[in-house]
Chains A and B, each alone.
Chain A
Amino acid sequence: MSQTRPIPHDVTAHVAGHQQPGFIGRYIFSTDHKVIGIQYLFSAVLFLLVGGGLALLVRLQVGYPDESIGILTRLIPGLARHIPPEWGGRMSPEFYTMLFTMHATVMIFLVIIPWLTGAFGNFLIPLMIGAKDMAFPILNMLSYWFMWPAFGLLMASFFVDGGASGVGWTAYPTLSSADLADGSFASPAARHAGLGQTLWLLAVFFSGVSSMMGSVNYITTVLHLRAPGMTLLRMPLTVWSLFITAILQAVALPSLTVAAIMQLTDKVFGTVFFLPPGGAQFGAWSTGAGGGQPLLWQHLFWFYSHPAVYIMLLPAMGMVSDILAVFSRKPLFGYRPMVYSMSAIGGLGFIVWGHHMFQSGMDPRIGAGFIIATILIALPSAVKTFNWLATLWGANIQFTTPMLNAMGFISMFVIGGLSGIFMAVAPVDVNVHDTYFIVAHIHYVLFLSTLFGLFAATQFWFPKMFGRCMSEPLGKLHFALTFILANCTFYPMHILGIGGHPRRYFDPTLYEFLQPFQPLNRFMTVSAILLGLAQLIFLANFFFSLFFGKKASANPWDSNTLEWQAPSPPPHGNFETTPVVVRGPYEYGGEGATDHLPQTATA
């Protein structure tokens, strides 16, 4: 692997020789990786509120399909438009499709990815490898500002004619792609598949471009700007995970971007990439002949979106690993197996996308291949879990908020990973596909794993970002409530799915075989509302601590990695002198004079 590498002179000179920028240069159009990271953090936390609100509306409808949401129309501007009078104060089924579509879109593209790779990728990579900034600071700034068209387009789409997209975050044609092509941007297929979907595609395009700029930057930075002595195998797992994630993004994203452009031209210019030769009929209206296939979209979409689920998990895995070691006061168990298994997840992640299509019209012979690959991808996840547990074994555990959230991550990732094995058994998957079982799986990996990872990481690195600590008692209260309530909200979804409850249903009580499950649906809705309320504790803690939190020292957690050698918060340029790394990041415990040895400590 790579040897000690000096920092290239031109780059350091560029950063160090910077004159102090003014307010706008410092806080708005900043090229400082830390400010950009914090910008991402704020926008992600903000959109968490939007995405969560949408989710609660979805839950209200499924739990109480017969109830009016009339009182909410007084609280939420614009909602009344979607409550047709003949529905007795209830939302319409079309409006419901928009809710779950936009919930998933906001959570994936505006919360999880920006929070993980945008906020922590930006803030941590240069600090943890001992660089003064990213390799391409201006590209970095652009990557954040390219998110704004995505934010704007998605938010604006709620207010356009026909409303925001309601075709699912998977946006399968022809539901999504059909367009009246008379300049009205309306869809013959669904009320929420017109202009809203066009804007959705544009937003996905912008968010893709933004992520691509980020990825290029991360890869280059990790490869070229590591401090002297920071070999690849001395990098903390956080950096490894962000590095692998960046590679995944760089390779997978073009597929989604291309697919989005193709669907866009299908909608706007009447190309027929996803329209079959026979066209599609909607009532008396016909699209005319096409020449493509919806199956093509599914392949292109999942070629990105399967790796994307790991993009949404790997950085959390990396950060949780680091946090575990710190609060176990013990070296991380199996550093190399951890790196190898993350690489294996990254590699295998590219050949399993077909497991989202076992029941689609894909040739069943290819399905058999995807079965084997999918089953195998569970193995590296298992290996990681065992190594985490071994790290905890015999440890001197400190029950801080980041630690509790990290342990919550492990506990919940086990459930999410194990439910994946059911779905890797294709005959079983055919049965549970598109039922609540999938919704349970998604939320165990993305909410209960990644989000716990993010809560852990946010509370852990908050002192470094803002020079103040978040409140421990409030953080723990938030953890305890979230842990229990998230399980109440999502675990019963497995049972619902086993019972055959399809996802994306406006009113399940129509079906006799689903009626016995309705009390369960109500249970989950009540839990979800409480869960939503519990998140207000996190928000309060976050914003309150920004101003009134306890002042933090440079290294409040007695951690070894380089970012803790810089002041809290680090100045422009990060380090006063370039750190020289002499050891790996996990020297905790042992018999030495102190219970930890920073990566730069020579003794």
Chain B
Amino acid sequence: MLLDPGTKPAVSQATETTGFAFNWAAPEHALPLVLTAVAFLVWLVAFKFRKVWAALFGINAAIVAAYTTWSARNNYWMPEIASELAAEVDSLFNLVLFLVTIFFVATQAVLVYTMVQKAPEGGRAKSVHGHHILELVWTVIPGALLVYVALAQLPTWAKMKGQTAGTLVPVGYDAATDAADLLVTVTGKQWEWRMRYADPSGSKPANPLLWASTPAATDVHMVNELHAWQGAKVRMMLRTTDVIHSFFLPHFRFKQDMLPGKTIPALLYTDKSNINADGTERLWEIACAELCGGNHYRMRGKVVIHPDRASFNQWLNDQKSRQSARKESLAAANNTPAIPAGNEE
């Protein structure tokens, strides 16, 4: 196989580990205990000062907010952005994050405030049953914001689902007939991804749907590696031979299930290369995002976006000649027909 599906061996050594290596000095082990102690303390103090319960809620909300901010600042956040569409998705995320932060802070603050507020005079609260204007305000304002969020996402949704004309309405799958710059079939099976490219020397397939179901002997096959070049619009035809898999490219914010019996056309925009100037590669991994059996977690692959079309072409031609050399030598050695697609190495 071209890329080992894991950095770890499939079956690990039959040596029994000695047990859990808890390093209590490590923050991830010490912190839960510290926080447990805090909760315990609040409980104790609350016997005397019942309003200290507000501290429990306050501390919790504050930690949640601080920890989220810290994660975003320190790169425990979305992976590197690989395309403009991915950036668009992230900005939608940020829009929602901004709005929900306001609601989060406001509601938690009110909740904590009510726990420390002064008791009403004589211990008797006013008998208020409701308020029409208030109800109206807190229905209409969030409602308007929500409608805005609903509409603001539609262009991105359409684009994500293959609409190239820039309108709000996505296209149906049957209308996705455009072969784009590069056409590739990705077939999921337990537990690997098989990529198939059209013969680089042949003509561009006119009908992607038809092409996806009619492999040719000259096609170029890869396992677990998706290649394209920077700036290419890639038409991927997603298929599966057994169960549902989900083709997940975290850096592209791309995820599409493969459904048995269907060929699903998808578009991938590649606005960035992961080959550095010095020729090294930043690893952009592929993962499976739909449970597909025991080795679901092992459907690991990678995406390589070559810096330009020429280097991609060179790579594809290399693959092609390696593939035909292999087929010939195999056929000569065993007098057997060419190996089935995708089973190289």
**Interchain nearest-CB distance for B4 vs A (Å):** 10
**Is B300 in contact with chain A by the CB < 8 A criterion?**
yes
Do residues B149 and A421 form an inter-chain contact, with CB atoms below 8 A?
yes
Query: Looking at B38, B64, B88, B153, which has the most chain A CB atoms within 10 Å of its CB?
Result: B153
**Interchain nearest-CB distance for A96 vs B (Å):** 8
Do residues B35 and A484 form an inter-chain contact, with CB atoms below 8 A?
yes
In the complex with contacts A484-B56, A500-B78, A522-B28, A333-B17 CB distance below 8 A: no
**For B201, what are the chain A residues with a Cβ–Cβ distance below 8 Å?**
none
B256-291 interface bits toward A, Cβ cutoff 8 Å, 1 = contact, 0 = none: 111111101000000000000000000101011111
**Measured CA separation A414–B104 after assembly (Å):** 7
**Is B111 in contact with chain A by the CB < 8 A criterion?**
yes
**For B75, what are the chain A residues with a Cβ–Cβ distance below 8 Å?**
516
B162 in complex: contacting residue of A178, A364, A504, A587, CB < 8 Å: A364
**For B56, what are the chain A residues with a Cβ–Cβ distance below 8 Å?**
480, 483-484
Do residues B291 and A389 form an inter-chain contact, with CB atoms below 8 A?
no
**Measured CA separation A509–B12 after assembly (Å):** 14
**For B285, what are the chain A residues with a Cβ–Cβ distance below 8 Å?**
511-513
**Measured CA separation A483–B264 after assembly (Å):** 44
**Is A407 in contact with chain B by the CB < 8 A criterion?**
yes
Do residues B297 and A510 form an inter-chain contact, with CB atoms below 8 A?
yes
**Is B128 in contact with chain A by the CB < 8 A criterion?**
yes
**Measured CA separation A70–B319 after assembly (Å):** 46
By beta carbon, the residue of chain B nearest A64 is B20
A447-464 interface bits toward B, Cβ cutoff 8 Å, 1 = contact, 0 = none: 000000000000000000
**For B254, what are the chain A residues with a Cβ–Cβ distance below 8 Å?**
430
**For A364, what are the chain B residues with a Cβ–Cβ distance below 8 Å?**
157-158, 161-162, 170-173
B1-45 interface bits toward A, Cβ cutoff 8 Å, 1 = contact, 0 = none: 000011110011111111111000011110111011011101100
Do residues B26 and A368 form an inter-chain contact, with CB atoms below 8 A?
no
By beta carbon, the residue of chain A nearest B123 is A396
In the complex with contacts A64-B20, A86-B11, A359-B256, A428-B76 CB distance below 8 A: no
**Measured CA separation A153–B258 after assembly (Å):** 32
**For A282, what are the chain B residues with a Cβ–Cβ distance below 8 Å?**
190, 242
**Is A161 in contact with chain B by the CB < 8 A criterion?**
no
**Is B205 in contact with chain A by the CB < 8 A criterion?**
no
**For A433, what are the chain B residues with a Cβ–Cβ distance below 8 Å?**
255, 289
In the complex with contacts A280-B241, A483-B56, A511-B300, A88-B14 CB distance below 8 A: yes
Give the contact stretch, choosing among B217-225, B245-253, B327-335.
B245-253
A307-330 interface bits toward B, Cβ cutoff 8 Å, 1 = contact, 0 = none: 000000000000000000000111
Do residues A330 and B244 form an inter-chain contact, with CB atoms below 8 A?
no
**Measured CA separation A290–B260 after assembly (Å):** 11
**Interchain nearest-CB distance for A344 vs B (Å):** 10
A405-446 interface bits toward B, Cβ cutoff 8 Å, 1 = contact, 0 = none: 001101100110010011011111011011100000000000
**Measured CA separation A431–B77 after assembly (Å):** 13
Do residues B264 and A517 form an inter-chain contact, with CB atoms below 8 A?
no
In the complex with contacts A522-B28, A526-B28, A589-B125 CB distance below 8 A: yes
**Interchain nearest-CB distance for B345 vs A (Å):** 19
**Measured CA separation A372–B293 after assembly (Å):** 34
A493-536 interface bits toward B, Cβ cutoff 8 Å, 1 = contact, 0 = none: 01100111010111111111100110110110011001000000
**Measured CA separation A280–B18 after assembly (Å):** 43
**Is B233 in contact with chain A by the CB < 8 A criterion?**
no
**Measured CA separation A359–B288 after assembly (Å):** 13
**For A336, what are the chain B residues with a Cβ–Cβ distance below 8 Å?**
130
**For B154, what are the chain A residues with a Cβ–Cβ distance below 8 Å?**
368, 371
A376 in complex: contacting residue of B146, B162, B172, B190, CB < 8 Å: B146
**For B246, what are the chain A residues with a Cβ–Cβ distance below 8 Å?**
359, 434
By beta carbon, the residue of chain A nearest B116 is A397
**Is A294 in contact with chain B by the CB < 8 A criterion?**
yes
B296 in complex: contacting residue of A174, A500, A505, CB < 8 Å: A505
B68 in complex: contacting residue of A167, A193, A495, CB < 8 Å: A495
**Measured CA separation A71–B128 after assembly (Å):** 59
**Is A386 in contact with chain B by the CB < 8 A criterion?**
yes
Do residues A480 and B43 form an inter-chain contact, with CB atoms below 8 A?
yes
**Is A591 in contact with chain B by the CB < 8 A criterion?**
yes
**Is B156 in contact with chain A by the CB < 8 A criterion?**
yes
**Interchain nearest-CB distance for B266 vs A (Å):** 10
Do residues B28 and A519 form an inter-chain contact, with CB atoms below 8 A?
yes
Do residues B124 and A595 form an inter-chain contact, with CB atoms below 8 A?
yes
**Interchain nearest-CB distance for A432 vs B (Å):** 9
**For B46, what are the chain A residues with a Cβ–Cβ distance below 8 Å?**
399, 476
**Measured CA separation A541–B167 after assembly (Å):** 60
In the complex with contacts A393-B110, A487-B60, A520-B76, A367-B170 CB distance below 8 A: yes
**Measured CA separation A576–B57 after assembly (Å):** 43
**Interchain nearest-CB distance for A569 vs B (Å):** 30
**For B315, what are the chain A residues with a Cβ–Cβ distance below 8 Å?**
none
**Interchain nearest-CB distance for B7 vs A (Å):** 6
**For A392, what are the chain B residues with a Cβ–Cβ distance below 8 Å?**
110-111, 114
**For A86, what are the chain B residues with a Cβ–Cβ distance below 8 Å?**
11, 14
**Is B147 in contact with chain A by the CB < 8 A criterion?**
yes
Q: Which positions 99-127 of chain B face chain A at CB distance < 8 Å?
A: 99-100, 103-104, 107-108, 110-111, 114-115, 117, 119-120, 123-127
**Is B79 in contact with chain A by the CB < 8 A criterion?**
yes
**Is A552 in contact with chain B by the CB < 8 A criterion?**
no
**Measured CA separation A371–B244 after assembly (Å):** 23
**Measured CA separation A260–B320 after assembly (Å):** 47
**Measured CA separation A17–B328 after assembly (Å):** 92
Do residues B93 and A396 form an inter-chain contact, with CB atoms below 8 A?
no
Do residues A365 and B111 form an inter-chain contact, with CB atoms below 8 A?
no
B259 in complex: contacting residue of A66, A361, A397, A477, CB < 8 Å: A361
Do residues B297 and A505 form an inter-chain contact, with CB atoms below 8 A?
yes
**Interchain nearest-CB distance for A140 vs B (Å):** 35
**Measured CA separation A88–B156 after assembly (Å):** 48
By beta carbon, the residue of chain B nearest A188 is B242
**Measured CA separation A318–B241 after assembly (Å):** 47
**Is A466 in contact with chain B by the CB < 8 A criterion?**
no
**Measured CA separation A410–B47 after assembly (Å):** 23
**Is A205 in contact with chain B by the CB < 8 A criterion?**
no
**Is B312 in contact with chain A by the CB < 8 A criterion?**
no
**Is A571 in contact with chain B by the CB < 8 A criterion?**
no
Do residues B126 and A371 form an inter-chain contact, with CB atoms below 8 A?
no
Do residues B253 and A430 form an inter-chain contact, with CB atoms below 8 A?
yes
Do residues A407 and B127 form an inter-chain contact, with CB atoms below 8 A?
no
**Measured CA separation A390–B161 after assembly (Å):** 42
Do residues A175 and B130 form an inter-chain contact, with CB atoms below 8 A?
no
**Is B204 in contact with chain A by the CB < 8 A criterion?**
no
**Interchain nearest-CB distance for A422 vs B (Å):** 5
**Is A247 in contact with chain B by the CB < 8 A criterion?**
no
Give the contact stretch, choosing among B131-139, B178-186, B192-200.
B131-139
Do residues A504 and B130 form an inter-chain contact, with CB atoms below 8 A?
no
Q: Which positions 272-289 of chain A face chain B at CB distance < 8 Å?
A: 275-278, 280-282
**For A590, what are the chain B residues with a Cβ–Cβ distance below 8 Å?**
124-127
6 residue pairs, one from A and one from B, having the closest CB atoms: A276-B261, A590-B127, A364-B161, A500-B250, A364-B170, A589-B125
List, sorted by A's number, 26 A–B pairs whose CB atoms are closer than 8 Å. Answer: A174-B260, A175-B244, A281-B189, A331-B127, A334-B131, A375-B149, A379-B142, A387-B130, A389-B107, A414-B103, A414-B108, A421-B146, A425-B93, A427-B88, A434-B290, A476-B46, A477-B43, A481-B40, A495-B68, A499-B76, A502-B297, A505-B296, A507-B6, A519-B28, A522-B26, A526-B29
List A residues at the B interface (Cβ < 8 Å): 64, 66-68, 70-71, 85-90, 92-94, 96-97, 166-168, 172-175, 178, 189-193, 275-278, 280-282, 290, 293-295, 328-337, 359-361, 363-365, 367-368, 371-372, 375-376, 378-379, 382-383, 385-387, 389-390, 392-397, 399, 404, 407-408, 410-411, 414-415, 418, 421-422, 424-428, 430-431, 433-435, 473, 476-477, 480-481, 483-485, 487-488, 491-492, 494-495, 498-500, 502, 504-513, 516-517, 519-520, 522-523, 526-527, 530, 586-591, 595
Add 10 more A-B contacts to A67-B17, A591-B124 (CB < 8 A).
Answer: A89-B16, A174-B243, A175-B292, A275-B261, A394-B125, A421-B96, A428-B153, A499-B79, A504-B297, A590-B125
